[in-house]
Amino acid sequence: DIQMTQSPSSLSASVGDTVTITCRASQSISGYVNWYQQKPGKVPRLLIYTASTLQSGVPSRFSGSGSGTDFTLTISSLQPEDSATYYCQQAKTFGGGTKVAIK
Partner 1 sequence: QVDLVESGGGVVQPGRSLRLSCAASGFTFNHYAMHWVRQAPGKGLEWVAGVSHDGGNQYQADSVKGRFTISRDNSKNTLDLQLNSLRVDDTAVYYCAREVSVLWGTMGHFDSWGQGTLVTVAS
Binding to partner 1 by residue 11, rule CB under 8 A? no
Binding to partner 1 by residue 37, rule CB under 8 A? no
What secondary structure does DSSP assign to 54-82, as a single string? EPTT--TTEEEEEEEEEEEEEESS--GGG
Binding to partner 1 by residue 95, rule CB under 8 A? yes
Residue 65 and residue 79: Cα distance in Å, rounded?
Answer: 20
Binding to partner 1 by residue 7, rule CB under 8 A? no
Among 44, 61, 69, 83, indicate the residue that binds partner 1 (CB under 8 A): 44
Residue 101 and residue 12: Cα distance in Å, rounded?
Answer: 5
Residue (91 or 101) nearer to partner 1, CB: 91
Binding to partner 1 by residue 27, rule CB under 8 A? no
